[in-house]
């Protein structure tokens, strides 16, 4: 038995930390709000006096090695469930048990004299090698949230998710959009654990045809100035600005998919079957994506300012929203084109972009881009998971549904080179994207979304 001291309770304020032990084994330490239960608390978790509970489990999913540091957290039967971002295998964070019949290793956590320790039964004399917070940071332009410029309006406690989504979509101030998005995700997730979860509000409000933008010069995608290869500061600023524009649209795309398709029902495959509504986990997953995109936009916008520029200094395009408009009638098409073409293309080009910045010695931008790349693998996974769920309910083949949607509603060819490993991690093998063409188009495929 090893009892590994991982640090002071006061220093472990993130929702999750990556823990590396002296033998190289990696764990994830979760810090989650307490769940009120009458039954005894399992030993693999420890409650602190400050309304938080602590759990530890192995950092690699036992199914295919996915990063449990990026797991989606839900509550089922008064227990926290961590779902792997690669293939959605679910694990009880206390017991490690999964509905798929496999089990993850979990480890008891104890709190004593203001310090946190993890108990490892199968090894002696282990020590902490490294502990790192998993990035959740959002950089607000004006420091603390209370200092945001302009008038920021929060909706009341009775507002539904769809009303919140339309409010975010109609917010043109990018700083306010960041704040409202992160607030909405936090509020929705917190209330999921309570007796008064946020109402979805399907069908009670209509999203805008296109979210407004503030003080931006719009051009067609093909008219964007060429950014170059990142060898000088001007080139890198142009690349970061283009990425920031994509991430701001990505916030709206994740928000829009919830309100626009809130009333979606699957097609019953047989007369004896019934249609199904979208479960609440659909909305949680896309809120998590929106929260990530707000984080990405905030990091890129802040990095532009650190380099002496600002978001809005260069023209931008609305190409991603054009794809959203073409798929506004069908959730299957929306997921296929936005998540599994545009965002998957980001998985292909991100490593090349990161290498350009690394060669230029811009380590701070590399750190930002690495955060974005790792998160975007999970976003493609989210799209793949929900397209697969719809197809399972409808008795259809997700590969064929995807390819048919792209052929009808996407402009251009799905061209390589492909990051086959990142796509595989997200659930997309080559049968999805090889030899696939949409409608005739001469422009480049927009990466990200």
| pLDDT at position 441 | 58
Dihedral, 66, 431, 351, 251 alpha carbons, nearest 10: -80
Reported as a single tens digit per residue, the pLDDT across 400-422 is: 999 999 999 998 888 889 999 99
Share of the chain above pLDDT 90, in %: 61
Assign 47 a pLDDT band (cuts: 50, 70, 90).
low
Distance, in Å, from the CA atom of 212 to the CA atom of 318, rounded to the nearest integer, reads 11
Distance, in Å, from the CA atom of 327 to the CA atom of 263, rounded to the nearest integer, reads 16
Contact 82, 91 (CB under 8 A): yes
Assign 67 a pLDDT band (cuts: 50, 70, 90).
confident
Reported as a single tens digit per residue, the pLDDT across 89-123 is: 789 999 999 887 788 999 999 998 989 999 998 78
Pairing of strands 2-8, 109-112: unpaired
The DSSP result for 282-323, as a single string, is HHHHHHHHHHHHHHHHHHHHHHHHHTT--TTSS-B--HHHHH
User: What is the pTM for the complete model shown?
Assistant: 0.71
Both tokens of residue 370?
A: 């690495």
Q: Which among 284, 333, 297, 347 is positioned nearest to 140, based on CA atoms?
A: 297
Q: Among all chains, which residue has been given the structure tokens 């809120």? A: 287
Judged by DSSP in three states, 272 sits in coil
Reported as a single tens digit per residue, the pLDDT across 340-376 is: 999 999 999 999 999 999 999 999 999 999 989 988 9
Distance, in Å, from the CA atom of 128 to the CA atom of 89, rounded to the nearest integer, reads 28
| pLDDT at position 25 | 87
Reported as a single tens digit per residue, the pLDDT across 18-39 is: 999 998 889 999 998 887 654 4
The dihedral through the CA atoms of 402, 403, 409, 412 has a sign that is positive
């Amino acid at each position: 038995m090893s009892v590994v001291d991982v640090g002071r309770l006061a220093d472990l304020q993130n929702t999750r930390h990556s823990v590396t032990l002296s033998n190289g084994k990696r764990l994830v330490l979760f810090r989650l709000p307490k769940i009120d239960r009458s039954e005894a608390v399992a030993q693999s978790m420890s409650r602190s006096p400050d309304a938080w509970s602590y759990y530890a489990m192995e950092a690699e999913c036992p199914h295919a090695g996915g990063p449990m540091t990026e797991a989606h957290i839900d509550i089922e039967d008064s227990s926290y469930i961590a779902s792997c971002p690669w293939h959605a295998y679910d694990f009880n964070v206390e017991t490690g048990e999964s509905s798929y019949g496999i089990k993850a290793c979990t480890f008891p956590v104890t709190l004593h004299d203001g310090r946190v320790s993890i108990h490892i039964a199968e090894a002696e004399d282990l020590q902490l090698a490294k502990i790192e917070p998993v990035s959740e940071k959002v950089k607000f332009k004006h420091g603390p949230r209370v200092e945001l410029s302009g008038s920021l309006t929060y909706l009341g406690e009775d507002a539904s998710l769809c009303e919140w989504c339309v409010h975010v979509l109609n917010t043109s101030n990018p700083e306010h959009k960041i704040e409202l998005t992160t607030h909405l995700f936090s509020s929705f997730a917190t209330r999921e654990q309570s007796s008064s979860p946020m109402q979805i509000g399907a069908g009670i409000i209509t999203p805008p045809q296109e979210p407004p933008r503030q003080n931006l010069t719009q051009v067609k995608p093909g008219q964007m100035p060429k950014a170059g290869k990142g060898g000088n500061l001007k080139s890198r600023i142009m690349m970061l600005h283009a990425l920031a524009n994509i991430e701001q649209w990505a916030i709206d795309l994740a928000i829009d998919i919830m309100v626009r398709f809130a009333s979606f029902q699957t097609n019953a495959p047989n007369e004896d079957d019934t249609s199904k509504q979208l479960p609440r986990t659909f909305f949680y997953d896309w809120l998590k994506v929106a929260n990530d995109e707000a984080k990405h936009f905030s990091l890129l916008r802040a990095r532009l300012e650190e380099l002496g520029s600002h978001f809005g200094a260069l023209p931008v395009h609305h190409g991603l929203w054009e794809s959203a408009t073409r798929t506004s009638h069908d959730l299957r098409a929306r997921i296929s084109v936005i998540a599994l073409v545009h965002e998957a293309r980001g998985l292909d080009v991100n490593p090349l972009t990161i290498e350009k910045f690394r060669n230029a010695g811009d380590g701070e931008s590399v750190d930002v881009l690495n955060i974005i790349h790792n998160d975007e693998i999970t976003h493609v996974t989210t799209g793949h998971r929900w397209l697969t769920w719809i197809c399972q309910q409808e008795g259809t083949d997700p590969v064929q549904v995807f390819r048919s949607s792209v052929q009808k509603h996407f402009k251009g060819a799905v061209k390589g080179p492909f990051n086959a490993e990142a796509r595989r991690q997200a659930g997309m093998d080559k049968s999805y994207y090889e030899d696939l063409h949409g409608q005739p188009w001469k422009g480049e495929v927009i990466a990200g979304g």
